[in-house]
């Protein structure tokens, strides 16, 4: 895909920022309701070799992930956007994931540093959603 020249306006940036934050909030705070709605109906979340695609599978992923007795927090930074078309934008977000087993405060173990490589699309309802979110590891923790 080739980038189309032109700025990404503030309302679009804000809507995509909110989408990215909501994804992380739902997983980090064990609030999976509506997780699949952040994606197109045939959207995909790719981690390593695992591909979770479609509304039912995406919601099942979030339900399972948030049911774990595990505390996580994701720190997001360096969000870069490139317009692909009037209704499609490519994004890259750096994420540092801290995680530990249990629900009480614990040692902040940096589990990984990765990039989310995203494709966002604006639907007919003018809502921005993920077409694809791909987690690409940069640094991982050895166990």
Domain-wise residue ranges, the chain: 10-138
Q: What is the pLDDT of residue 47?
A: 93
Mean pLDDT across 42-69: 95
Q: Is the pLDDT of residue 84 over 90?
A: yes
Which of these CATH numbers, 3.10.450.50, 3.30.70.360, 3.30.2270.10, 3.40.50.720, describes 10-138? 3.10.450.50
Distance CA 45, CA 118 (A): 9
Average pLDDT value over all residues in the chain: 91
Q: Is the pLDDT of residue 78 over 60?
A: yes
Task: Express each pLDDT in 2-53 by its tens digit.
Answer: 555 458 999 999 999 999 999 999 999 999 999 999 999 999 999 989 999 9
Can you give the pTM of this predicted structure? 0.88
Q: Is the pLDDT of residue 60 over 50?
A: yes
Q: Which helix (H) or strand (E) holds 63?
A: helix 55-67
The closest alpha carbon to 114, from 80, 88, 133, 140, belongs to 140
């Amino acid at each position: 895909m080739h980038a189309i020249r032109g700025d990404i306006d503030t309302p679009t940036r804000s809507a995509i920022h909110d989408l990215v934050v909501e994804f992380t909030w739902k997983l980090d705070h064990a609030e999976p309701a509506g997780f699949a709605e952040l994606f197109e109906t045939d959207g995909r979340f790719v981690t390593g070799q695992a591909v979770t695609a479609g509304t039912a599978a995406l919601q099942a992923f979030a339900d399972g992930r948030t049911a774990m007795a595990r505390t996580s927090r994701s720190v997001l930074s360096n969000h870069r956007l490139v317009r692909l078309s009037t209704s499609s934008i490519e994004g890259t977000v750096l994420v540092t994931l801290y995680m530990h087993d249990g629900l009480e405060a614990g040692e902040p173990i940096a589990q990984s540093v990765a990039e989310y490589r995203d494709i966002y699309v604006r639907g007919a309802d003018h809502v921005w959603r993920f077409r694809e979110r791909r987690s690409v590891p940069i640094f991982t923790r050895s166990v």
